[in-house]
Copies of this chain bind each other. A is one copy, B any other.
């Protein structure tokens, strides 16, 4: 009985931790978006894989809400003095992850293997799988006509820029890994994490065969809304959904996933949307989805496994 979770970064990490708290972590697989990955300073950086690894290993900085606990910034300080590219903050501990990954990739190891090594070394108890080994960067076109990489959009502009379109062409051209395919095909439960539907889940769904597999297994697919009370729990999901013509609500999310998931988990504050979602042909679970890393998370995790 394994659960495969289509995952972005922070929201997915919380959900994976919730699931791991109520079941055997070895039965949980995170199928992780790599559309945000970037090469910077020659290093391969995989923000979603790392966010999940650090969080599940208990190494995330709970005070700041991002980055590693006990992190220091010696390299970045010096790089700033050199006038180097320092807009993407890389802590010293975090850099070790990227050095390790880049070295192993340069030796010919694939990202699935390297990710497995890092999760074991760092103490992340679940399996994380990149969905693809191909470079498949998500691109943006801003309303004022600029082409932007994910990190230019997200970090440089702090996602505070109007977006005209999201380009997932690269994801559409890449190949699902064998391990990812097996995880999707063999899992008893598939969960779509409460990650941004457009820029975290979207790139996963754009990879050939993913929607085909989910459609075929729709009865065992559960999606958790990242929009609560019309607001994204974190990040630009709400604004992006509006700008790109989607309704920024749990109902809007349900419309995006209706052909892929049979069950939609929405927050209690959105209970009134349940009938409309049911009319889309989905079952609805109404529960508290604002995860606390404790009892609320556990209840949410159990509800999903019971679905």
A72 at the B interface (CB under 8 A): yes
Contact of A75 among B92, B105, B121 (CB under 8 A): B92
Q: Which one of A77-85, A193-201, A272-280 is at the interface?
A: A77-85
A84 and B106 contact, CB distance less than 8 A: no
A41 and B103 contact, CB distance less than 8 A: yes
B42 and A103 contact, CB distance less than 8 A: yes
- Give the CA-CA distance A98 to B103 in the complex, in Å: 14
Nearest CB of B to A148, in Å: 17
A21 at the B interface (CB under 8 A): no
Total number of A residues with any Cβ neighbor in B under 8 Å: 34
B74 and A106 contact, CB distance less than 8 A: no
Instruction: Name the residue of chain B whose CB is nearest to the CB of A78.
Output: B96
A76 contacts across to B, CB distance below 8 A: 96
A85 contacts across to B, CB distance below 8 A: 103
- Give the CA-CA distance A105 to B5 in the complex, in Å: 38
Contact of A79 among B43, B74, B84, B96 (CB under 8 A): B96
A75 contacts across to B, CB distance below 8 A: 74-75, 92-93, 95-96, 99
A102 contacts across to B, CB distance below 8 A: 41-43
A103 contacts across to B, CB distance below 8 A: 40-42, 84-85
- Give the CA-CA distance A95 to B96 in the complex, in Å: 11
Main secondary structure of the interface of A (DSSP, over half): helix
So how many copies of this chain end up in the complex? 2
A93 contacts across to B, CB distance below 8 A: 74-75, 78
A118 at the B interface (CB under 8 A): yes
A217 at the B interface (CB under 8 A): no
A95 contacts across to B, CB distance below 8 A: 75, 78, 95
- Give the CA-CA distance A122 to B83 in the complex, in Å: 10
Interface string of A79-115 (1 = CB under 8 A from B): 1011111000000110111111011011000000000
A42 contacts across to B, CB distance below 8 A: 41-44, 99, 102-103, 105-106
The 9 A-B residue pairs with the shortest CB-CB distance, nearest first, are A42-B102, A78-B96, A74-B92, A41-B99, A84-B100, A42-B42, A79-B96, A41-B103, A78-B93
A-B contact pairs, 24 of them (CB 8 A): A41-B43, A41-B98, A41-B99, A41-B100, A41-B102, A42-B42, A42-B43, A42-B102, A42-B105, A43-B102, A72-B74, A75-B95, A75-B99, A76-B96, A78-B92, A78-B96, A78-B97, A79-B96, A82-B97, A82-B121, A83-B100, A83-B117, A84-B96, A85-B103
